[in-house]
Amino acid sequence: MDRKVIAMYLRLSGEDKDIGRNESNSIANQRQLILDYIQSDKTLSECKVREFVDDGISGARFDRAAFQEMIEQVQNGQIQIIITKDYSRLGRDYLEVGKYMECLFPLLHVRYIAVNEHYDSDNYDGKTGGMEVGIKNIINMMYSRDASKKVMAARKVLTEQGKFIGSFAPYGYVKSPKDKHKLIPDPEAAEVVKRIFTLAAEGKKYKEIARILNEMGVETCLDYQKSHGRERKHGTEIKVHQWSATTVMDILYSQVYIGTIVNNRIEQNQRTGYKSRRKKPEEWTVVENCHEPIISRELYETAHEKLDRKSQAKKARSGNSPARLFLCGCCGHTLIKRHGKYKCPANLNPAELNCNKVRMDAEVFENTVLTYIRVTAESFLQDLEKKRKTQQEAQANEPDVEVIRQKIQKLENRRFQAYDDYTREKLSREEMRSLRDKLQEEINALNETLAVREKEQVELSHVQDVSEEELAVLVKLSDFNTETIRMLVKNITLYEDGNLEIVWNMDDFIWKSR
């Protein structure tokens, strides 16, 4: 018979972390505490042990990598016992923790032990810790929220003072050994940063700068950090070791290189710690002269003047050129208008692609496009009205979304009450499970209905958002005006047989006219 497997789960929040070591002391202490507990129990000491560690992750979050890996193995039947230092290591949201302790673990016959709480699911004679467990989990959640608020308040003070609060110094800098919140230039990488800004000030594009750096054999940011013992952990292996236009752009638009610290760009949910939204620039916390700059403000502004000028020119070209709207059905290139004809640019280099037949007289092409748009827009208007009418009739005969949500909430309350009745010994464990399973089935069915109704509402709102006035303009369109066409047309593809395909700017309607 195979030995049972113990999952030893260790977790520490970022705010409690001992930054000065590769692994926090608390993680080491948790490990030793659990190993001692295992060795003191004859049954447990004969089991295999697997370790799962989430270091620096809030207990309010349940998307922790090691935690999810452990749960996946639990669901696959690879783990039979889970041990943590206490309840709070499992998580600090009492509702979520309760789902695991009272639903998932018992359902999968997984034994759960919280050492410091003296809790063992096998030693309660069919009963859990009841209200005591619930109260402790509520306290853990309140502690997490309070700690989160304090950490955020402390970070806010640091950001307003222009202190660097990132985990890793940006490329070109290192953290001061005397003050981890202060940046000092890294001489070798700083020279590369200067080179990038100088090339940009000379009018070079992102791709050109990246190509020059690659030809010079300059290490990428990640490779440089790795070779200097400052490697970051990544979820996936980095296979490409070359400078890219995106990396160059990120450096050129970072104000850190002129001595400015920019913080508070992302708003976080205080309860979960997830990123909620990207703030507007006027909401950012910007503090100048925080550390020694790598480049002068004059060089920074010159580089950005060149970049902005190129961006505006590109925008002007793409906004007025009909070629950006029309595609080759053979290779996907955008068509060009030359010598009174629309043709694929690959025609200029037949050796590259054979698109010689993708061409059409400009006047014929434009008249054909106008005809297709007018006919299709008119059909679109008719179908739009039919769909709106059908959905409105369907909605009138279906329960309201809010009513369904209220029903789900009532069932959730009944499930919670069933557990409460069990802790008060009004229900046996089997009766509680049976009732909760039945209620969950009803909840699942209602959730499916809710998803359908919400999707219908989104579709209806989408239909209602479509401007009939804009469609009416296209129905009467007589001049080949690309700006008007762009209102509702995403692109038009010309095929070698002379047929056209129109793709509209609406997710639910893709029209193909041949």
d(CA 485, CA 474): 7
- The pLDDT value recorded for residue 275 is 46
More confident residue, 28 or 83: 83
Tokens of 285: 């916390």
Most trustworthy range by pLDDT among 68-82, 280-294, 355-369: 68-82
d(CA 322, CA 338): 12
pLDDT at 270 over 60: no
Mean pLDDT for 81-86 is 92
Tokens of 462: 């989408």
Taking the domain 173-309, which CATH number applies?
Answer: 3.90.1750.20
DSSP codes of every residue in 185-253: E-HHHHHHHHHHHHHHHTT--HHHHHHHHHHTTPPPHHHHHHHTT-PPP-SS-----S--HHHHHHHHT
Mean pLDDT for 22-45 is 82
Average pLDDT, the chain: 76
- The pLDDT value recorded for residue 39 is 92
Q: What is the DSSP letter of 334?
A: B
Residues 6+ apart with CB under 8 A from 150: 15
More confident residue, 148 or 224: 224
- How many helices (H) does the chain have, and how many strands (E)? 17, 17
pLDDT at 21 over 80: no
pLDDT band at residue 44 using 50, 70 and 90 as cut-offs = very high
Q: What is the DSSP letter of 109?
A: T
| Sign of the dihedral through C-alpha 264, 265, 270, 274 | negative
pLDDT at 12 over 70: yes
CA distances from 421 to 62, 325, 424, 429, 441 (A): 27, 65, 5, 10, 20
pLDDT band at residue 507 using 50, 70 and 90 as cut-offs = very low
- The pLDDT value recorded for residue 52 is 94
With tokens 């609406």, the residue in question is 506
Mean pLDDT for 365-375 is 84
Run of H or E residues at 103: none
Q: Domain boundaries in the chain?
A: 5-151, 173-309
Strands 500-504 and 5-12, by their bridges, are: unpaired
d(CA 185, CA 182): 10
- The pLDDT value recorded for residue 424 is 78
- How many other CB atoms are found less than 10 A from the CB of residue 318? 12
pLDDT at 391 over 70: no
- The pLDDT value recorded for residue 149 is 53
Which of 207-221, 375-389, 465-479 comes out lowest in average pLDDT? 465-479
pLDDT at 18 over 50: no
In the chain, pLDDT over 90 holds for what percent of residues?
15
Q: What is the DSSP letter of 279?
A: P
- Which residues are 36's β-sheet partners? none
CA atoms within 13 A on the CB side of 382: 7
CB 468 within 8 A of CB 462: no
Q: What are the pLDDT digits (tens) for 303-362?
A: 888 876 655 444 444 444 444 688 888 777 788 888 888 888 765 444 445 577 788 898
Strands 261-263 and 285-287, by their bridges, are: antiparallel
Run of H or E residues at 388: helix 362-396
In the chain, pLDDT over 70 holds for what percent of residues?
72
Which of 291-295, 385-389, 449-453 comes out lowest in average pLDDT? 385-389
More confident residue, 49 or 20: 49
- The pLDDT value recorded for residue 131 is 43
Query: Residue 176 phi/psi, 5° resolution?
Result: -65, 135
More confident residue, 103 or 89: 89
- The pLDDT value recorded for residue 84 is 93
Taking the domain 5-151, which CATH number applies?
Answer: 3.40.50.1390
Most trustworthy range by pLDDT among 248-262, 315-329, 399-413, 470-484: 248-262
More confident residue, 441 or 490: 441
Which of 356-360, 402-406, 468-472 comes out lowest in average pLDDT? 468-472
